Structure 1
Amino acid sequence: MLLVPTSARAAAGGMANTVELPLQISAHAYLMNHMVDADDDDDVRLHLAALCGDDKGLRQITADPQYIQWLNYRVRPYMSPPLRLAVSGGNPECVEVLVSAGADIELEDVKGQTPIFVATCQKKLEIMKLLLEYGADPEPFDHIFTCVPGWPLQHAVVYAHFSCYFELLKSGALANLTSLPYEVAPRIVARLSIPHAILKYSREYPEFVKLYYECGGNLRQLGTAGTTCIEEFLECSPAKELLVTLSGLPLSLKSLCRVTIRQLLGRRNLHKLSSLELPLSLFPFLNFEEFSHYSLQTRLNTRSRIHTTEE
């Protein structure tokens, strides 16, 4: 297959197996960073536009009904559908175009990664929020039962990215797998323990513990060794100090009311919080907005590191 930029279409003439790239990217730059490997009869223009962040091109392509057949088509090397590639490309507009066109929001790549999982692991916060708004499942059934590739909430902890962690819980992700409508084996719950992940990967950030606690998380969750995280991780850390303090304290009545209201509404109806006949001052509390400054700080620190690296 030959990959050429759109401006070179005329020059390509009658060459077989020619695929156009968006104007803003050269074939050389594309090949140096990504490779979409398709069969000769495959039309991968959706995939290329999604990966390259060409939202205008995507709108034009998806407007033609004949391209709907390629909307969920997966290509090598990762057997990725266009939506998965759009997440990797980092353009929220591309994600929105594809989902609005009917792309399967839960379609996995060959590694079993759904778009929401990829967005979380790659710290694509705006895309993750967009997927959640469209109804992406933060507790995918197969991933929970096999632990492969994992649970988005846990991976936000593993990568110490509080912004993703905050948005997942704020959007209704469950703090406890035992709260799922189906039974999860104790060994799986233990393997995916959030408190253990916090003390292993995010021990310098006590805000992970505090938010988990305020969401009704089980701080005494047993891990794979049959012990609590306090017993398993002996070294002192800011997260452990707070966890030790909170593990013996019940949630305040106010916090219990918040958890209960959100549970009664359910994840799909959290957008209706603002329609409840409650004092306006309560809505920021119901949305855990007291933690938003931690999320902002995470983003500022990330930008600072990127700026330092570029210098």
Structure 2
Amino acid sequence: RPTLAVPAAPTPTTGVYVYGVFAPHRADALRDLPAHGVDPAYPVYLLCGNGLCALVSQVGLDQFGEDVIEANLHDPAWLEAQVRQHQAVLSALLPQGTVVPFTFGTIFHSAERVQEMLHTQAQHWHTRLAYLHGREEWGVKLFCDPDVLRTAVLRSQPQAQRLQERITQASSGTAYMLKQQLETLTKNAVEEQIQMIADTIHATLLHDAIAGVRNNLPAPELNQTHEQVILNAAYLLLPDQLDAFRHELEQQIRAYTTYGITADLSGAWVPYNFANVDLPDHAATPMPLNPAELQEQP
């Protein structure tokens, strides 16, 4: 059973870190909460009121205070560990109820402030929880092999084929200019093809989902493989929609196999992309980081 009693009141050296608003499927069926939150010195607990519960833990302001957290955000090891623990806390509750997740780094000054938020925004949270109840977030990433895609595009471009033939017959100076033309033509055609494939697959998948969002693509320098990410999207599904959704994704990938397109379907995730959380004024400004950015990593 979770600990519903509030631990010792936060002191000026601690704040209350909020992971999200939670509605258990059955209050008497909850398993133990995670032993600790993003700060290993403090346990995770629930602050409840108005039929709602906030999933929280205390945090030391020596690491999470406004004057130090900005520096910590530039420490990759610290940041990754904290974001993973933030997500682990929420993921532990996901099978046991409905969660509206908060952005990483949302800290209130006191437990009373959190309970005030639950009271003043009760209708908002009940509405969000009702919308997310019984629904799951699934992530889709599309990848392309740049070499395979380039080859496929060249084969489909008569103008590119004519340029290639002229290059083989031209003098060195003319060949150089023709190669420049071919490179520009190919680059533009590849970009158009990537956009078309990503748009088509995303639009098709939306027909088998309740909702979907396209997120920013990761920076190319963060890619750990030769493949290029061309779609980074999330979809909200009912559990009984998953098989049809997966089948449609597989069909789309087969249709674009000759272009070097592959996909990764992952989930179910805490619904970060569908929470639409508006924080009250008395909450600390959240850090501009969505833990969903790390979802594809084990």
- Could you tell me the TM-score, scaled by structure 2's length? 0.24
Determine which structure has the larger strand proportion and give its number: 2
**Higher Cα Rg, which structure:** 2
Tell me which of the two structures has the higher relative contact order, counting C-alpha pairs closer than 8 angstroms and 6 or more residues apart. 2
Higher helix proportion (structure 1 or 2): 1
TM-score normalised by structure 1 residue count: 0.24
